[in-house]
């Protein structure tokens, strides 16, 4: 499995891109992560993770159209590649197998 080069933050960024596609761009990703985790997420950290994920081939990006709301600047939109999707599936499978091995009564005690 290739998972060894995917950190936890990169994993949640990659998942968030998949969830927000086709409208996934850095500010929206940071806002979604803050909403889901209840913790502050810096746009700079998201930018860095997006760049690493794109270099690894898990994401691709393209520039959107210029908008008046951004003073004529364009947004960079991200989508998950086939390789990125396979990595997400592998991560999901590993986590599911491990969760399935935990006895349900123990899981209830943690709530």
pLDDT tens column, 29-43: 999 999 999 999 999
| Average pLDDT for 5-32 | 95
- Asked if 62 contacts 77 with a C-beta cutoff of 8 angstroms, the reply is yes
Quote the CA–CA distance of 19 and 15 in Å, as a whole number.
6
Q: How far is CA 73 from CA 47, 52, 65, 76, 80, in A?
A: 17, 23, 8, 10, 23
Quote the CA–CA distance of 57 and 23 in Å, as a whole number.
19
pLDDT tens column, 48-82: 999 999 999 999 999 987 776 766 778 999 999 99
Going along the chain from its start, the domains and CATH numbers come out as 3-109 (1.10.10.10)
Position 109 scores a pLDDT of: 81
pTM of the model: 0.85
Sign of CA dihedral 34, 40, 45, 49: negative
Quote the CA–CA distance of 95 and 78 in Å, as a whole number.
25
For residue 95, name the pLDDT band (cuts at 50, 70, 90).
Answer: very high
């Amino acid at each position: 499995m290739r998972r060894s080069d995917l950190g936890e933050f990169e994993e949640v960024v990659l998942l968030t891109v998949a969830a927000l596609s086709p409208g996934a761009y850095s500010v929206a990703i940071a806002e979604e992560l803050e909403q889901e985790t209840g913790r502050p997420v810096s746009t700079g950290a998201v930018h860095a993770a997006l760049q690493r994920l794109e270099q690894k081939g898990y994401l691709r990006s393209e520039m959107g159209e210029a908008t008046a709301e951004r003073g004529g600047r364009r947004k960079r939109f991200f989508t998950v590649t086939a390789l990125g999707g396979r990595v997400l599936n592998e991560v999901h499978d590993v986590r599911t197998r491990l969760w399935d091995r935990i006895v349900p009564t123990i899981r209830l005690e943690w709530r």
